[in-house]
Copies of this chain bind each other. A is one copy, B any other.
Amino acid sequence: MVTHSGSKSVTVHDVARVAGVSKSTVSLVLTGSKKVSDTAKLKVEKAIDETGYVYNRDAASMRSRKSNLVAIVINDLTNPYSAQLAVGLEQQIRKMGLFSMLVNSGEDVETQNQLVRNLKEYNVAAFIMCPAPGTTAEWTNQLVDQGFPVVNIMREISGAKVATVLPDNFAGTNMATQHMLARGYRKIAFLGGRETISDYHQRLAGFTEAMVLANVPFSNQLCIQSDTNRNGGRQAMTTALEIEPELEAVVCFSDVVAYGAMEQMKLAGKIPGKDIAIVGFDDLEDSRLMTPALSTVHVDANKIGIAVCHILSNIKDGSRNKILVAVDLVVRESS
């Protein structure tokens, strides 16, 4: 409980006195009201400069019962894609004239619970959440029922009465897999991800549908779950090569998993992009700098930010729409 700034602060009263108007007029200027004369506005602005006044949002938010503080609750900031997404969201939200704060749940549902409990006390205007695994529909709905606008991103919680913005996971892996098939590969594995995360199912489905439609036989054994980090990618690749030594291509759950898989491929004496084709998902900055440059499904963080803001600006409680953000396949050297 650190003490706040020092000195007695400058208030609207002080500004009013200096400007020679009433505090109400100052308030009107501050809130950008149309019904204040230009002369008054000028006087007030001058007085604000002279006095070094700083707006007190706590007081404003308490009186007006409004807030322009949006909380972004991210599942894991150390995941490069999450970080990229967070940055994109932040920018879009600021463009809307709102202010965003970021907190990190670290994929821990209890931490997430704590954070949200605290954030409620800070009177946030809305929650943008990438929910930690284990987040229930009940919990989410409770938050909504308390009157907080909530938008979920990246992960879907079935039964939750919230708007959700997702990349088109199905289309992404579907395109990627079709691309591999078009290249003539038949022995294809799907690496990484876990059943506990909603997007896993969608990405896996995109893969299997492409395989089935192309009449290519494949084994569920070659759909290998793993942690969604570099190490997970290595393990999944190891397993894949044990099961199918003649593997021709892999479709990965994410770029980070692909990085691990490429690493492991090299250790096994296979050259990625030559002996085994590989494609990722996310299109991280690093992916075009890999050797070989990684083909991947590009997900535009800004588009997600825009979609979220769109929902935010015309939210009504109970709106449960789902927005799929289009993705593109970016073909590079690895496939």
Is A230 in the interface zone, CB < 8 Å from B? yes
- Contact, CB under 8 Å: A291 / B266: yes
Is A312 in the interface zone, CB < 8 Å from B? yes
Contact with B along A95-134 (1 / 0, CB 8 A): 0011111111010000000000010111101100000000
Is A35 in the interface zone, CB < 8 Å from B? no
Q: Contacting A122 at CB < 8 Å: which of B57, B98, B148? A: B57
Is A40 in the interface zone, CB < 8 Å from B? no
Contact with B along A127-168 (1 / 0, CB 8 A): 000000000000000000011110000000000000000000
- Contact, CB under 8 Å: A289 / B231: yes
Is A255 in the interface zone, CB < 8 Å from B? no
Stretch at the interface among A76-84, A188-196, A322-330: A76-84
Is A267 in the interface zone, CB < 8 Å from B? yes
Distance between Cα atoms of A254 and B231 in the complex (Å):
21
Contacts of A83 in B (CB 8 A): 77-78, 80, 83
The quantity of this chain's copies bound in the complex is 2
Q: Contacting A4 at CB < 8 Å: which of B7, B67, B98, B267? A: B67
Contacts of A234 in B (CB 8 A): 289
For A62, the closest partner residue in chain B by CB is: B58
Contacts of A28 in B (CB 8 A): none
Contact with B along A178-217 (1 / 0, CB 8 A): 0000000000000000000000000000000000000000
| A78-B87, A97-B1 known; A58+B61 contact, CB < 8 A | yes
Contact with B along A285-314 (1 / 0, CB 8 A): 110011100000000000000000000100
Q: A1-B68, A5-B123, A7-B147 are in contact. List 18 more A-B contacts (CB 8 A).
A: A2-B125, A3-B125, A4-B61, A4-B125, A4-B147, A5-B147, A54-B121, A58-B59, A58-B61, A58-B62, A58-B122, A78-B285, A90-B103, A101-B103, A102-B102, A229-B285, A259-B286, A263-B291
- Using CB atoms and an 8 Å cutoff, list the residues of chain A in contact with chain B: 1-7, 54-59, 61-62, 65-70, 77-78, 80, 83-84, 86-87, 90, 97-104, 106, 118, 120-123, 125-126, 146-149, 229-231, 234, 259-260, 263, 266-267, 285-286, 289-291, 312, 317
Could you list 15 A-B pairs, sorted by A, with CB under 8 Å?
A2-B125, A3-B125, A4-B147, A5-B123, A5-B148, A54-B121, A57-B121, A58-B62, A58-B123, A77-B102, A78-B80, A90-B104, A100-B103, A234-B289, A267-B291
